[in-house]
């Protein structure tokens, strides 16, 4: 009798011990993803109704709980529905698009957004196979930081070459190409808007000055 009681007590202790040891401090990946959501984004230029509908259909079939869509040119600085899609994402969620060019007009814009998503533990995926995860966020951050800096290097090098070329032409007294003239007041307005952080296209919309003239005014202003 005593032996059976002893064995029963040992079993109870072992069971409790095993139960205690098995208790996880961290959630499994499957448990982490239970509350995560997939948000889709679709974009098409004006009059591409069928293409936009096709994107929305494919994104929903892939599991998107909500799809933000809009008719807007790729070159537009502001894509309101894309901003809404990104703003409603939280840690563990995923942004899904059909192709990278549906959301990003160039490499820099893409890298900046990916960097933002990774820092917030948000995935980015495309239906044609592109994927960024947050499991190795430090590694991903380093990779995209390098790519971003390389892209900055290209821009800065191009800007420096243009300034050097402009300076050489000024010093040699060569004709700078018959550029359209604008008043000093408008030139100062362009430089002030640029210093305040406005994009070239935003400055154009506010002043009505051509992009080529805006670039020339800003480059010449940097040489002074």
**Mean pLDDT highest for which of 25-39, 123-137, 152-166, 181-195?**
181-195
H or E element, residue 206: helix 200-207
Residue ranges with strand state E in the chain: 38-44, 66-71, 94-97, 123-126, 131-132
Hey, how many other C-beta atoms are within 10 angstroms of the C-beta on 32? 13
Helix then strand then coil, % of the chain, to nearest 5: 60, 10, 30
Buried b (16+ CB within 10 A) or exposed e, 129-159: eeebebeeeeebeebbeebbeebeeeeeeee
Per-residue model confidence as pLDDT tens digits over 97-150: 999 889 988 887 888 888 888 888 899 999 988 877 655 555 555 666 666 566
Domains and CATH numbers, the chain: 36-143 (3.40.50.1390), 177-224 (1.10.10)
**Report for 3-12, 151-160, 167-176, 204-213: range of highest mean pLDDT:** 204-213
Extract the tokens encoding 102: 């549906």
Residues 197 and 164: beta-carbon distance below 8 Å: no
139 φ, ψ (degrees, to nearest 5)? -65, -45
Half-sphere exposure of 110 toward its Cβ, with a 13 Å CA cutoff?
A: 19
Whether this prediction's pTM lies above 0.75 is answered by no
* Residue 196: C-alpha distances to residues 2, 178, 188, 199, 219 (Å): 86, 29, 12, 9, 16
Long-range contacts of 189-195 (CB under 8 A, 24+ apart): 190/214, 190/217, 190/218, 191/217, 191/218, 191/221, 194/218
Confidence of residue 184 (pLDDT cuts 50, 70, 90): confident
Residue 79 has what pLDDT? 92
| C-alpha distance from residue 63 to each of 39, 94, 180 (Å) | 9, 11, 53
């Amino acid at each position: 009798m005593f032996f059976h009681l002893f064995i029963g007590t040992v079993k109870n202790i072992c069971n409790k011990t095993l139960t205690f040891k098995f208790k996880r401090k961290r959630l499994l990946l499957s448990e982490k993803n239970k509350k995560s959501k997939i948000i889709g984004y679709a974009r098409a230029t004006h009059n591409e109704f069928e293409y936009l509908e096709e994107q929305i259909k494919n994104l929903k079939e892939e599991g998107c709980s909500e799809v933000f869509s809009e008719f807007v040119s790729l070159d537009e600085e502001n894509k309101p529905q894309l901003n809404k899609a990104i703003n409603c994402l939280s840690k563990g969620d995923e942004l899904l698009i059909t192709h990278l060019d549906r959301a990003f007009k160039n490499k820099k814009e893409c890298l900046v957004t990916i960097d933002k998503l990774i820092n917030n533990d948000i995935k980015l995926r495309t239906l044609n196979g592109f994927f960024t995860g947050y499991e190795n966020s430090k590694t991903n951050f380093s990779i995209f930081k390098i790519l971003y800096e390389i892209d900055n290097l290209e821009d800065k090098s191009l800007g420096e070459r243009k300034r050097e070329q402009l300076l050489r032409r000024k010093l040699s007294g060569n004709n700078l190409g018959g550029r359209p003239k604008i008043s000093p007041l408008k030139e100062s307005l362009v430089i002030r808007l640029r210093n305040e952080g406005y994009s070239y296209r935003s400055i154009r919309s506010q002043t009505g000055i051509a992009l080529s003239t805006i670039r020339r005014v800003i480059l010449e202003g940097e040489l002074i």
